[in-house]
Amino acid sequence: LWYRRKENAASSMPPGPPPLPVIGNLFDIPRKAEALAYSRLADKYGNMVYMSVLGKNIYLVSSVHILNDLFNKRSANYSDRPYSTMLHKLMDLEWIFAFRSYGNVWREQRKLFHSQFQETVASDYMTLQVNSARDLARAILASPEDLIEHLHTHAASVLMGMTYGLKMTPQTSEVVRMADEVAMASTKVAVPGSYLVEFLPIMQYIPEWLIPGGGFRKDARECKEKAAMARDVPFEAVVNDIAKGIAKPSFTSKALARDSRVDQQLIKSCAGVAYLGMFSFRLLPIMVALQTFVLAMVAHPDVLTRAQREADSVMCQDRLPTFDDRDSLPYINGIVHEVLRWNPPAPFAIPHMSVNDDEYQGYHIPAKSIIVGNLWKILHDPEVFPEPMRFIPERFIRGDQDHNLEAIMESFMAVYGLGRRTCPGRFVAFQQLFITIATIISLFDITAGVDENGKPNKVEPDFTFGLVWSVQVPPVLR
């Protein structure tokens, strides 16, 4: 009987690559060029691919409709996060609610976060975002060769300003450095097989001094210390500034002033999420998007020329863009959407976990299955986005009747994830990208430069996903 039950359960699993004994599909989980590898899996096995890695069930979903059915329509069952001994226990990062399991504590944190970043209050951050975009332009003008560095500082400083009202100083730069390191450490955890303790939790009780070099226990301790510092130092600075009466308006100062009943630990960890949680996507998504924008402009000079013409017709080369210009700059708006679609900053979102056993379209989904949204594939579906590897901002501009903008936007919104876990920072993020991209377009020409013989460099877009995300491009901004 037992044998037959197992056989039945196995036959109702979605298709997927054949597993090896014990380790299952461990070697089918890509470690580099994940977007292409996961796309190939979807091409071969369909929009719901099943893999089993060391006893964990993994479902790779490459359809916005299936994600919608699971994460929205069955959200009570699919809004949990997978548990990781390394991340939750040893690194002690459960206070970052992006990683927290679904339940009342998550709900409370998310509510507070949402209250300060929802659409109706996102405009509170506009002045800061405009000023930061102009600071970035000045920095690029001074040393265009340090572009990547400037983009990183820009992305970090806007978050630091929104969350704490603090400027970049040697002390806050140190916090950013710590956060970068926490990002690298937590990214390593996300790669299955990096840490044996994930599969043998008993190993968590091995003391650090017993492991040569400290091993996973040392990695976990260092990450825990850095994350606590990155969370506590800026928060204490705001509390001190409030006491002195010099605190700038920010998520933290507003939350502390608004409701004295909300406990400080909750505000501190929510602020830490706004800032540090962003690093859970390997690198700041805003920075990834801005790098992608530069690459897109270098690879598609015609798009930049058209965007500059639009900018000149509105600002008349007389002033810099503001948020009041948004409706008059549809093509630049299209560029921002296309940047996020062409190279989504979080191509596989953050995995969800099912709570109870479920059946979907005849397939069995056991409790505690990990559901990975293949956002890259969804955003490169040729049915919705013809010629998906081409950068075409017009996709997002209302055009003729054949152009189904509603369907396009439905798929596009997957870039922020779906359901109860959907990105709560999406309004401020889009705002920031709009003003920064519009400012750069109205001020700079962006080219690939010339080689030693004076010939224009050729640019082949190359997206690299791995421990460090990068766009291989040698841009010149003038």
DSSP 420-476: GGS-TTHHHHHHHHHHHHHHHHHH--EE--B-TTSPBPP----EE-SSS-EE----E
Which residue do the tokens 């700038």 mark? 248
DSSP 196: G
Choice between 197 and 289, CB closer to ligand HEM: 289
Where does this chain touch ligand HEM (CB under 6 A) — which range of 231-239, 314-322, 409-417, 442-450?
409-417
CB of 117 to ligand HEM, least distance (A): 6
Interface positions, 273-312, toward ligand HEM (CB under 6 A): 273-274, 277-278, 285-286, 289
Helix ranges (DSSP H) in 12-146: 34-45, 64-67, 104-117, 119-122, 126-142
Is 416 a residue that touches ligand HEM (CB under 6 A)? yes
Among 16, 24, 345, 393, binds ligand HEM (CB under 6 A): 345
- Tokens standing for 61? 């979903």
449: left (phi over 0), alpha (psi -120 to 50) or beta: left
C-alpha to C-alpha distance for 440 and 457, rounded to whole angstroms = 21
Is 82 a residue that touches ligand HEM (CB under 6 A)? no
Listed residue (76, 75, 78) closest to 59, CA to CA: 78
Is 417 a residue that touches ligand HEM (CB under 6 A)? yes
Is 429 a residue that touches ligand HEM (CB under 6 A)? yes
Where does this chain touch ligand HEM (CB under 6 A) — which range of 135-143, 172-180, 194-202, 345-353?
345-353
CB of 178 to ligand HEM, least distance (A): 18
223 is in an annotated binding site: no
Choice between 112 and 273, CB closer to ligand HEM: 273
Whether the Cβ atoms of residue 353 and residue 81 lie closer than 8 Å to each other: yes
Other C-beta atoms closer than 10 Å to the C-beta of 365 total 24
Interface positions, 171-210, toward ligand HEM (CB under 6 A): none
Ranges assigned E (strand) in 251-382: 352-353, 358-360, 363-365, 370-373
Is 154 a residue that touches ligand HEM (CB under 6 A)? no
CB of 401 to ligand HEM, least distance (A): 30
The residues pairing with 53 across neighbouring beta strands, listed in sequence order, are 24, 56
Is 50 a residue that touches ligand HEM (CB under 6 A)? no
Choice between 220 and 273, CB closer to ligand HEM: 273
Look up residue 166 and give its amino acid.
L
Among 334, 393, 424, 475, binds ligand HEM (CB under 6 A): 424
Binding site for ligand HEM (CB under 6 A): 97-98, 110, 117, 273-274, 277-278, 285-286, 289, 340, 345-346, 349-350, 415-418, 421-425, 428-429
